[in-house]
Structure formats: structure tokens, C-alpha cells
Structure 1
Amino acid sequence: MSKGICTVSVAALRADHSHQSEMTSQLLYGETVSILKNDGKFMKVKMDIDGYEGWVDAQQIAEVTEEILSKRAFEIITTPFKTYNTRQGKILLSLGSEVGVEHRNENNALQLEDISETAEQFLNVPYLWSGRSVFGVDCSGFVQLLYKVHGINLPRDAYQQAELGEVLSFIEESKPGDLAFFENEEGVITHVGMMLNDHEIIHAYGKVRIDSLDSTGIYNRELKKHTHKLRFLRSIF
């Protein structure tokens, strides 16, 4: 099985090998994959960060050897945007992208205490189904990206993230960085957000926004109603 690395700012991961096919997630610059199939125009890949599988435009992935990847040193971009010089010219990258360095800079890693500050840099970023960059995010992609730049890899989807960590008994126990999960009428986990304190949540709903959270769920002050039904909160770290 060969390996690949994303060479564009954001690459769409699709359900089938067509640009018209549904986008199921995204790859960021520098993220690596296992290449499962290659039909010349599209590659079926498995993302190394979370095991997600899908099809990517073959022109957006460079094939590399396992040996090269094993020696690869990189740092994760922790600012909202960064211009990076490549052999093809300058490229604008999102927070969460991986750029090569001669030596890994361990001091570049963010501390988990700063996760609320990172989250607030996304305020008003538009909601994008299956998005996971500062150019557009969905709820679980937003949470996954926040944790990635703070050194913790989470699964891609909300229902998978809801299986991690410890359940909190009360909202008042929550601390910044804890995750709140929400269910639909059938009891299926469909939404996730991150706590900023014990009564406010930041989440992607139309755009990345801050709302109030109570025992019922998320209360949207603009709409003057609850928009999401709370299932439980979990502490991930």
C-alpha cells in the first residue's frame, strides 16, 4: 500500500470518484493518507489522522514512500492563516495544516489551557458540511481541528467523539475544552460543541458562534429558542 500527502490548502474527500459526489470530509495541506486505489483521475485514500476513507482528486495528492514519511519532520500551523512558500509558489494555509521543518519545534505546540482562545479565532467562520478548516467547518470538524492543534487526535464524526472521555454529571462541572453532545428526536448524536465555561458553548451552526447552554440544550438568543437538545457532556482530557 502506497502513501500520499496533500499538496493543496484544502482537498475534498468525496464519497465516490467524481467532483459531483458528496463531500464527506477534507484533507489539509501536509496531512498524510494511505492510497487504497488510483484510477488516474481520483485516488481512494484512508486518512492517517482519523481513518476516514474517500476519493480525492489525484492531482491534489503526491505519492511518497513509507521511508520518507518515517523521517518527515513537521509542525502544525496554530494561527488562523499562514502563507507558506513551496516549490510551486506561495500558498495560504489553514490552522491545522502540517508544514515541513528541518527539525520539529516542540515549543510550537499549544497548551490545552489555550484551547478556548484557539476556538474563538474561528468565530463567524461559515458552516460547511464536511468542512474542517478556517475556510469552513461543520460541528465535528471544528472540534476535531481544535483538538488536533492542541496535540490530541479525535475521530471525525460527533457520534464517534461522543464515545471518548468521561461523562459529566452536571453542566456546572464542565471546564473549557469539554465537549457537549446533542441528539435528534430519535436519540442519535447529531451535533457537538465545545464548552468555553460552565454556561457557554462555541459550536458551528450556520457559522461558528457562542451560545448559552443549560440542562435542556443550546439556547440561541437571536432566535429566542433552544436549537439543540443536550444528551451529555464529556471531559476528554
Structure 2
Amino acid sequence: MDASASWDPRITPLRDGIASRALEGLVRAEVYLDCKSLTCTAPAAGIHRAPDLASEQMDQLLFGEAFDAIEEEGGFLWGQARRDGYVGFAPTAALAAPGPEATHRVAAVRTYAFAEPSIKSRASGPYSMNALVAVEATEGRLAKVVGAGWMAAEHLTPIGTFESDIAGVAERFLGAPYLWGGRESLGLDCSGLVQAAMFACGLACPRDADQQAELGREIGQADFGRGDLVFWKGHVGIGLDRPSAKGGRIVHANGFHMAVAIEPLEAAIVRIDAAGAGQPTGFRRL
């Protein structure tokens, strides 16, 4: 049996006999290619299953995030997102050679960049929470970001400064539309919301719900509380309070509300089970 068959294709840069040079000696491939480090220069860019915008969006890059490109095909670059390890095709036009090292990240849910140090000038964006930016100057309440423009300084926080409450971060996304493969403020899915909240708190987090189900330690439903994670097959939510308090609520991005919403845990359990997805598969504490 080919050992490469046991590698998770979502996070293993291997396809059609081509692999990243980093996998040489670990997986079987016809050719191993060096990666080229690039940076996302768009507010957000999809990582797709195929080199086609009409193909499934599996993940996203945010502004300033690194992408290790391996091969170009039809206006897309196949490679691996460095922040969460996801492999796929990103639009070539959204990537460029790395600029200065990031000094700040976007701490607001979203912000705009202005062409001049004036909020009346042309705006671009929005740039979502956890985008990585390099501030090169400040003027009043605005900070000049390399490759973007002037952003509200209060919407940025220095690299290494983090939130402490993932549930509180997730609540700030309330009403954001549900978007498969999304992890930006204009649209995100269940695991994208968890990942955004954890990144804002300085915690490493994989992309998909089944991967996130390995985080932390297992707890019982009776112990489920604020900041804990509840999992179903293919879905995840974040606890807001204990089941005995206010009925026990969760915040989650979901296809039923088509948005980030707060829902009583018991109501979600009944609804999701009735829809055929079964009972929760586990509760985890980070």
C-alpha cells in the first residue's frame, strides 16, 4: 500500500504525482517541487478545490497571510496556506512577493483602507479580523498599511497582543452571513468562525470541524460552558454559558440561519438531530 494514501489530502501538498519538496522521502511522487513564498494582497482570496472560481471554495486567505505556491495552472497557484496548512488553488492575481513583516493584525471584525489619510478619501476592503498588516506610518487616528492604505489605528492591534475569550470574539460576528469555506467577516462557516475566534486569542487552530474535534480535552455535556466546543458530524459551535444558565446557549455559523447566530444548545441538538445529522459527537474544552 502506498504510504501517501494515509496522508490527509487537505493538508498534504501532493497531487497527480507532484509534491512539495518538503515531502521528499516521506511520500511517493514523480516530481518534487520547491515552494515559493507569497503573500495575499487582496482583502481575502478563496482557496479552491480546482483552478476555477466556480469550483468549491474550501478555505480562504486573508490579507497578509502567507501561501507557499508550488505550481501555476490557468491563473491559479496550487500550494499550501501557511497559517492553517490547507492545500488548494488560490488566484494568482491575489498573491505577490512578501513585503515587510507584519507589525499588527486587524482586531476589529472588519475595517477599510483609505487611499489618503482622510476618511473621506476612496476606501478599499473591507479587511477582516486577523488580517496581517505592516504599519509604516501614522497620522492622527489613521495608520498607513503597506499595500493597502490608511486604516483606523484603533482597529489594529500589535502582533502578539491577543483576546482572551473566544466566545466573546465569536459573538462579535453575529449576523455575518454563512459562507462555505469562508473565514472572513463577509461570510464564514462553522469551523471558520471557531478558527477566527481562536486565532484572535492567539491559539493555533486547524480549518475543518473534524480536525478541530481533536483540540483540547473531552468533557461531558453537563460540564459544557463558555468557550467550550460542541461537535456534530460536520458541525461545531461555541458555548456561551453553562446549560443551567439561560438554558445553555451556543454561537455558531450555520446553514439553518444562514448566518452566525445564538441558539439554545438543547434547541440546536433537537433541530440538528431532526435534520438527520444525529446527536452531538463530543464536547471539548480548550
TM range (shorter): 0.7 to 0.9
Distance 1:86 1:148 in 2: 28
Distance across 1 between alignment mates of 2:135 and 2:87: 28
1:17 aligns to what SS in structure 2?
A: coil
TM-score, normalisation: structure 2: 0.69
Give 1:126's aligned residue: 177
The match for 2:207 is 156
Cα deviation code 1:100-127 (max 9, x no counterpart): 13599658723323x3222111111111
Residue 187 of structure 1: aligned partner: none
- 1:56-88 per-residue CA deviation (whole Å, 9 max, x = no partner) reads 110100023xxx6xx713322111111235799
- Equivalent of 1:3 in 26, 37, 41: 37
Matching residue of 1:196: 240
The alignment status of 1:210 with 2:259, answered yes or no, reads no
Instruction: Return 5+ residue gaps in structure 2 as ranges.
Output: 1-34, 117-121, 138-155, 243-247
* Contact 1:212 1:219 survives alignment (8 Å): no
Give the drift of 1:129. Answer: 0.8
Task: Tell me, yes or no, if structure 1 residue 79 matches structure 2 residue 108.
Answer: yes
Aligned residue for 1:92? 126
Asked if 1:49 is matched to 2:83, the reply is yes
- Return the letter of the residue paired with 2:110: F
**Structure with greater strand share of residues:** 1
How many angstroms does 1:89 deviate by?
6.9
- Asked whether the 8 Å contact 2:106–2:131 carries over to 1, the reply is yes
Instruction: Note the alpha carbon deviations across 1:144-200, whole angstroms, 9 max, x for none.
Output: 11111111120000000001110002x2322321111013xxxxxx10011111111
CA shift for structure 1 position 128: 0.7
Moved more, 139-148 or 78-87: 78-87
Matches for 1:161-200 after TM superposition, within 5 Å: 161-169=212-220, 171-183=221-233, 190-198=234-242, 199-200=248-249
Match of 1:186 in 2: none
Partner of 2:14: none
**In 2, Cα distance between equivalents of 1:107 and 1:60:** 23
Structure 1: 5+ residue runs without aligned partners? 184-189
Change (3 A) 1:85 1:100: farther
Secondary structure of 2:269's partner?
A: strand
Q: Is the 8 A contact 1:125 1:137 kept in 2?
A: yes
1:85, 1:50 → 2: CA distance?
29
1:234 counterpart residue number: 284
Q: For residues 173 and 86 of structure 1, do their structure 2 counterparts lie closer, same or farther at Cα, with a shift above 3 Å needed?
A: farther
Percent identity, please.
31
Task: Indicate the SS of the match to 1:11.
Answer: strand
Comparing both chains, which one has the higher relative contact order based on Cα–Cα distances under 8 Å and sequence gaps of 6 or more? 1
Greater gyration radius: 2
For residues 75 and 228 of structure 1, do their structure 2 counterparts lie closer, same or farther at Cα, with a shift above 3 Å needed?
Answer: farther
Kindly tell me: are residues 219 and 76 of structure 1, through their superposed partners in 2, closer, same or farther at Cα, counting changes over 3 Å?
farther
SS in 2 for 1:37: strand
For 1:151 and 1:81, the matched residues in 2 are separated by: 18
SS of corresponding position for 1:142: helix
CA contact (8 A) 1:217 1:228 kept: no
Instruction: Give the Cα separation in 1 of the matches to 2:279 and 2:191.
Output: 16
What secondary structure sits across from 2:194 in the alignment?
A: helix
Match for 1:201: what amino acid?
A: I
